Amino acid sequence: MEQNDGKTYLERLTDLVTQGRFGAVKDLANDAVPLAMQQAEAVRERHGENDPKYADAVREVANRLQLAGRSGEAIPLMRTALQIYERTKKA
């Protein structure tokens, strides 16, 4: 993985897309999946499985999986996040 020069994940991702380096985008996203999974687990433990914050964290894992070319893994997580949002939306 490349040096990140203190940039955030999103900044590095934006730079790579701007440069047309889509293979590197996939690598960056794939490398970021484990951390996103850890963060989602921490949010679940703190807020529970029926909290929109957990849905946000699950969606973030799915986004990174999708960017990494792992749509088959991302789709069920997107569905899970959507179900949480639907259950928790205010009337």
7-62 pLDDT tens trace: 999 899 999 999 999 999 999 999 999 999 999 999 999 999 999 999 999 999 99
pLDDT at 4 over 90: no
Cα dist from 26 to 12, 48, 65, 73, 74, whole Å = 12, 30, 9, 14, 14
Which residues 6+ apart lie within 8 Å of 1 measured at CB? 27, 28, 31
pTM: 0.85
65 and 81 in contact (C-beta within 8 Å)?
no
